[in-house]
Amino acid sequence: MIVVSNTGPIIALSQIGRLDLLPALFGRIFIPQAVRDELIQCRAQVDAADWIEVDSISDTSTVDVLRERLDAGESEAIALAIQLNADLVLIDEARGRRVADSRGLSYIGTLGLIVEAKRRGSLTAVSPLLEELRAAGLYMSDALYEAVRRVADEV
């Protein structure tokens, strides 16, 4: 499975000490240089993660078009996903998800990753991680919090 990630899910999981979920779910993920740069700016410890592979974008014109609507990391992540014919894009931002969808890409965000980790047995419960994400500053409405718990069979 080819998985490309934007910055958001990696930072969110890093903030709660659960980056281990990504290799458990996918083995290896690809990121473009712009995402690596954003991660370094946020002091995320990704250089030690041997399961993250930084890949170059060959079609910079796609990035240029996407930059009209998205930031550098999202633009490059979507362009890399197109280039690699990725099975999945890890992305949280609504605008980025809409663009990924319009380009025929499948995507999942941080909360979906946590639910999937529970489904696959890497977690016993999502609720504690949801609380940690909220404490780390990830905005999540009460309705979304409860919806995620429902999907994870914790309500």
How many CA atoms are closer than 13 Å to the CA of 38, on its beta-carbon side?
20
Gap between the Cα atoms of 64 and 68, Å rounded:
7
- Show me where the domains of the chain are located: 3-109, 111-151
Q: Residues 37, 54: contact at Cβ < 8 Å?
A: no
Least-confidence region, from 35-39, 73-77, 149-153: 35-39
Q: What is the mean pLDDT of residues 23-27?
A: 96
Q: What is the mean pLDDT of residues 69-88?
A: 96
Which band of pLDDT confidence, cut at 50, 70 and 90, is reported for residue 42?
A: confident
In angstroms, how far is CA 97 from the centroid of its own chain?
11
pLDDT value, residue 91 = 97
pTM of the model: 0.93
Q: What is the mean pLDDT of residues 98-118?
A: 97
Gap between the Cα atoms of 60 and 110, Å rounded:
27
The yes-or-no verdict on residue 48 having pLDDT over 70 is no
Least-confidence region, from 32-46, 78-92, 101-115: 32-46
Q: Return the beta strands (E) in 44-143 as ranges.
A: 52-55, 88-90, 107-108
% of residues, the chain, pLDDT over 70: 96
Gap between the Cα atoms of 135 and 154, Å rounded:
20
- Single-letter code of the amino acid located at 152: A
Angle at 140 between CA 135 and CA 142, to 5 degrees: 105
pLDDT value, residue 50 = 87
CB neighbours of 61 closer than 8 A, spacing ≥ 6?
Answer: none
The CATH fold assigned to 3-109 is Rossmann fold (3.40.50)
Which band of pLDDT confidence, cut at 50, 70 and 90, is reported for residue 93?
A: very high
pLDDT value, residue 51 = 93
Mean pLDDT estimate for the chain: 93
Gap between the Cα atoms of 125 and 103, Å rounded:
33
pLDDT value, residue 119 = 96
